[in-house]
Chains A and B, each alone.
Chain A
Amino acid sequence: AQRVTQPEKLLSVFKGAPVELKCNYSYSGSPELFWYVQYSRQRLQLLLRHISRESIKGFTADLNKGETSFHLKKPFAQEEDSAMYYCALSYSSASKIIFGSGTRLSIRP
């Protein structure tokens, strides 16, 4: 079955430190991978998707098919990065989006 695993419920780092939020998936085909973010009191919104290969707000994520991972990285954390981050997977045959359990990122000043 398709699954998204985010092993860390909470990640706390100091401002200016590098950040890596881990995401592993299980799917035998070619998935679409996404990262969604939910800032305090705001709705869930798309941060980035692997197909676009963009850097958004300094964040990047590389799809590693060999390790079935899609870790989210940022070289220097900022306080405004504090939020809940969800890794998600979709596949065109079924169309639904499957989310991981989320990682709460807390940036300490």
Chain B
Amino acid sequence: NAGVMQNPRHLVRRRGQEARLRCSPMKGHSHVYWYRQLPEEGLKFMVYLQKENIIDESGMPKERFSAEFPKEGPSILRIQQVVRGDSAAYFCASSVGQGDTEAFFGQGTRLTVV
């Protein structure tokens, strides 16, 4: 089991472009979480998804951000029209079940908006 895989590890985008961050959960995991880490800050919850369902998106900005976890393929966090303030490390985690089970983290994608 290769663990949670995130790609790319580093992503540079110009202001106004789109950023797509991918997360492949661990084998057998059907729950995915996305977190954002700004410099010198902790992990901020963004969204929690199960296959084909968004369970909790209370941490997602209302505009420009969206997430999906299709039946086949990785989970995608999409940021449209990126701005400098979107520069951060984005972490994905997966688990087999609900919140009382261990979440396994990917190595993160560092997004830099120039």
- The segment out of B12-20, B35-43, B64-72, B77-85 that lies at the interface is B35-43
Among A43, A95, A99, A100, contact of B107 (Cβ-Cβ < 8 Å): A43
User: Is B102 interfacial (CB 8 A cutoff)?
Assistant: yes
Show the binding face of A for B, using Cβ within 8 Å. Answer: 6, 9, 32, 34, 36, 43-46, 49, 51, 86, 90-92, 94-102
Question: Contact: B43 with A51, CB < 8 Å?
Answer: no
Show the binding face of B for A, using Cβ within 8 Å. Answer: 3-4, 31, 33, 35, 40-45, 48, 55-56, 58-59, 91, 93, 98-100, 102-108
* A-B interface pairs (CB < 8 A), number: 62
Question: Can you name 25 A-B residue pairings with CB atoms under 8 Å?
Answer: A6-B42, A32-B99, A43-B3, A43-B106, A44-B93, A44-B105, A45-B105, A46-B103, A49-B102, A51-B100, A90-B100, A92-B99, A92-B100, A94-B99, A95-B31, A95-B48, A95-B55, A96-B58, A96-B59, A96-B99, A98-B45, A99-B43, A99-B45, A101-B41, A101-B42
Which residues from chain A contact B31 at a C-beta distance below 8 Å? 95
Among B35, B56, B98, B108, contact of A99 (Cβ-Cβ < 8 Å): B35
Which of A9, A51, A97 has the most CB atoms of chain B within a 10 A radius of its CB? A97
Which residues from chain A contact B108 at a C-beta distance below 8 Å? 43
Smallest beta-carbon distance B11→chain A, Å: 17
A102: nearest chain-B partner, CB-CB: B42
- Given A43-B105, A44-B105, A95 and B45 contact (CB-CB distance below 8 Å): no
Smallest beta-carbon distance B91→chain A, Å: 7
Which residues from chain A contact B55 at a C-beta distance below 8 Å? 95
